[in-house]
Amino acid sequence: MTRRTYTWNAYESKLTAELNPDIGNASVESALGLLAPVYLCIDPDKPDSREWIKVLSITGNSFDTMDRGLPGSIGDVGHGTYHAPGAIVRAVFTKQLQDDIFDDIKDLEDLTDDLPGNYLRLDGTNAMTEALHLSSGAPTATWEATNKLYVDDQDNKRIPYTGATMEGGFDMVGLYTIANLPTPVAAGDAVPLSYLQVDDQDKWLPLSGGVMSGEGDIQMTGAKITGLGIALNDDDALSIAAANDLYVELAGDVMSGPLTVDELNVSIVRALSGDLTFKDIADDTVLYYDESTKKLEYLRLMDLNDNTLMQVKDPSHASHVGDMGFNDLRYVLEEGDAMSGPLVLPDGTAAVPSL
């Protein structure tokens, strides 16, 4: 601090040249180890020429700057007196040194006074002009100051206010929110709630439900629609469980009711002898599968009991049944019909009725 001065036990030397009043520098035989600023006394053993001085700077054995004639000296205050070559220069305890010490103590105790620039006031009102070095390591409490090493170490652990790129997830523990998001520009930008609620409500369906007004398809790309409710309308989507309850599986299934075929052909694509089981009627099998012909064969007559056999396919074999239309095109009715070709009778086998 500006008041700090030094004393040097047992320092004593001599002037190498005369010293006149008002001269602000002097040379001594040795200034080794002496620190400035320091209070000294010239001619301390001569009451008629004793002078107290304050040496402000020292270079080698030269006192470059001095305050002369301090209070208590012979001669005018601030001017000093004459000293001959060889005059003794001695370090002694002075009132001025004592005043400096007590003045500094008072300033430290009384915060209303100005402190020297080398110290911080306890109330922190004066500004620092140089770095404050912390050597205590990393802080352990929230109120402790941190050094540069600790702060630099946090660079890769914290996001600066100017922005940065995160390398991991961002977990909002405690249900906190990210507020004041601007309108997104890029595909990877976070969107505010207002963007989904208002700005692009014609592009998204809300979780509460909605109606698609566009004509585009929903491409699932391997994903699933889960959690479907019970279908109530014909155009409602079905879950796989609901579909399984309504339809017979291609890989085999058990029907819980009769199969009614209305004006449809039922084909057996492939059947083996053990694949079909038929109920016997009066101890006689009605239908069986012939391994040699790979066909279903009837073993007994079928009595329609005055019922009509309908939707009969045009016969392709002599044993096949044809419908009425097929027969009418090939046979002459007993009455009122015309033949489209000649009638050839074998000789002597039939008589032609008279016309």
Q: What is the pLDDT of residues 48-106, one digit of tens each?
A: 999 999 999 999 999 999 999 999 999 899 999 999 999 999 988 888 888 888 887 77
- 23 by Cβ neighbours in 10 Å (0-12 / 13-18 / 19+) ranks as middle
Domain residue extents for the chain: 12-100, 269-304
Q: How confident is the model at residue 353 (pLDDT cuts 50, 70, 90)?
A: low
- Comparing 13-22, 142-151, 229-238, the range with the smallest average pLDDT is 142-151
Q: How is residue 11 written in tokens?
A: 């320092």
What is the Cα–Cα distance from 301 to 168, expressed in whole angstroms?
83
- Comparing 26-30, 82-86, 201-205, 230-234, the range with the smallest average pLDDT is 201-205
Q: How is residue 352 written in tokens?
A: 């032609």
pLDDT, position 47 = 93
pLDDT, position 300 = 59
3-state secondary structure of 317: coil
Global confidence as pTM: 0.34
pLDDT, position 261 = 63
pLDDT, position 61 = 97
What is the Cα–Cα distance from 30 to 43, expressed in whole angstroms?
16
pLDDT of 1 strictly over 50: no
User: What count of Cα atoms within 13 Å lies in the side-chain half-sphere of residue 137?
Assistant: 2
Phi and psi (nearest 5°) for 150? -65, -45
Higher per-residue pLDDT: 201 or 149: 149
Q: pLDDT > 70: what percent of the chain?
A: 75
- 82 by Cβ neighbours in 10 Å (0-12 / 13-18 / 19+) ranks as middle
Q: What is the pLDDT of residues 232-285, one digit of tens each?
A: 888 888 888 888 777 887 777 888 777 776 665 555 545 455 555 554 455 555
Bond into 37 cis (ω within 30): yes
pLDDT of 117 strictly over 60: no
